[in-house]
Amino acid sequence: MQVAFLSVLMATALLAAQDPASADVKQRMKAARALAKEGSAGVERLRPLLSDADVEVRRAAVESLVVIGGQQTLEPLTYSLSDGDGEVQRLAANGLVNFYLPGYYKSGWRGRLKRGADTVLDRFRGPDEPVAPAYVTARPEIVAALGKVTAESASMDARAATARALGVLRGGEASEQLLAALQTKNTGVLYEVLTAFEKIRNPEVAPRLFYMLRDPDEKVQLAAIQTVSLLGNKEANAPLREAWERTKSDKVRRALLEAMAMLPDESNRPLFEKYLLDSDEMMRAGAAEGLGRLGKAEDRARIDTLWEGERKMRPRLSLAYASVALGQREISELSPLQYLINTLNHNAWSGVAQGFLKDLAPESIVRYSLHNALLQANRNEKLALADILGEGGGKDSVEPLETLARDSDAEVASESLRALRTLRMRLQ
């Protein structure tokens, strides 16, 4: 009898310590955290805590909503984006992305918000770069709320986090808010906004970024060069050449040449010709890629000769790409196309090879070779080829991907299903 009484007493005390309406802040925080264990049933009880006078309680409530997950948390998380605390805004933004891209909350934002602007261009991103699949569409009210924080929040960390979220969700409807955020001149915000535009891929935005090609901060300038080149607007060639004439930085020149290589324009040929045999391997790489994109068949013999003699990996990959782009579609042990496929197994260079093959995949002859490569591909090649065909394949890629989706390797099968959904959406 006494044991039962003590048990009831302890349970009552525990409930009191987890009372969301308690006058004690610590008890409300404990209640907020405890409600995460109730699952969807805890969502409604968490709502009042999102307006709590104490910021730590509000943060705990948002974190619990993220743990619970599911559609029922989207509205309260969106509400928390209007909170006056930057940390609450950041937590809510990352929680919203986590619904559309599971795992993002734990791995996609906890690392330092950064941008690979210390390299030349980092356009060949790895599979861990967070972005929602093309067939995933976030609710308009969520995109709008994220855009408002990006443009107006007093917290630069919150602006950076919501800009990143808009990129992951491809929230192009918030482009005006992203552009407004560029006026902050906060480096973290600038990098995340530019990265967001790369993922959204709206070429019409590019002219409104041209002024950043002259930014006095070299890291910001490099980031802007990459973004402008990836948006694919050929109007960028003139401002890129202007930036070329103004800069004295070798690093910026490398980035500019690679950027111009991605936006084919015969006006850039003299630069490509000049640097094709340069002692700097990155300049050689940019020049080779540029000539490949210009698509003049008469350049192929010279490109093929240089490919056979090149020993540095980066320009060799660019020369292989250029050779295939200019018509060398043969598949043999020593052919450029086979070399690109083989490089999918190279940890350091697989991203570059994958990017080039994705660019070449719209050519039916190339796709035919990629489909055949699947028949004897190893695990790494299957994963990469699924992604390539999802984003660059055609109607004839549906059947190979359907077959790959039945692979005995669970990750290969899952990636193939994702690629198949992306491909079918593109073909609509």
Choose among 201, 128, 210, 206: nearest CA to 171: 201
Handedness of CA 388, 391, 396, 399 (dihedral sign): positive
Q: Is residue 363 part of a domain?
A: yes
Q: Can you give the pLDDT at residue 6? A: 45
Give the pLDDT band (50/70/90) at residue 133. confident
The structure tokens listed for 248 are: 């004295």
The angle at the Cα of 95, spanning 31 to 91, to the nearest 5 degrees, equals 70
Gap between the Cα atoms of 22 and 52, Å rounded: 11
- Asked if residues 340 and 317 have their Cβ atoms less than 8 Å apart, the reply is yes
Number of domains in the chain: 1
Instruction: Please indicate whether residue 9 or residue 403 has the higher confidence score (pLDDT).
Output: 403
- Host domain of residue 427: 339-428
Q: Is residue 398 part of a domain?
A: yes
Give the pLDDT band (50/70/90) at residue 122. low
- Please write the tens of the pLDDT for every residue from 334-382: 899 999 999 999 989 999 999 999 999 999 999 999 999 999 999 999 9
Q: Is residue 69 part of a domain?
A: no
Choose among 259, 264, 284: nearest CA to 274: 284
The structure tokens listed for 388 are: 């390539």
- Please write the tens of the pLDDT for every residue from 158-204: 999 999 999 999 999 999 999 999 999 899 999 999 999 999 999 99
**Predicted confidence (pLDDT) at residue 116 exceeds the cutoff of 50:** no
The structure tokens listed for 128 are: 């861990």
Q: Is residue 405 part of a domain?
A: yes
**Rounded average pLDDT over 126-131:** 66
Gap between the Cα atoms of 68 and 43, Å rounded: 8
Q: Is residue 361 part of a domain?
A: yes
Q: Is residue 147 part of a domain?
A: no
- Asked if residues 405 and 365 have their Cβ atoms less than 8 Å apart, the reply is no
Q: Can you give the pLDDT at residue 112? A: 40
| CB-neighbour burial class of residue 90 (10 A; exposed 0-12, middle 13-18, buried 19+) | buried
The pTM for the full model equals 0.88
DSSP code string of 271-311: HHHHHTT-SSHHHHHHHHHHHHHHT-GGGHHHHHHHHHH--
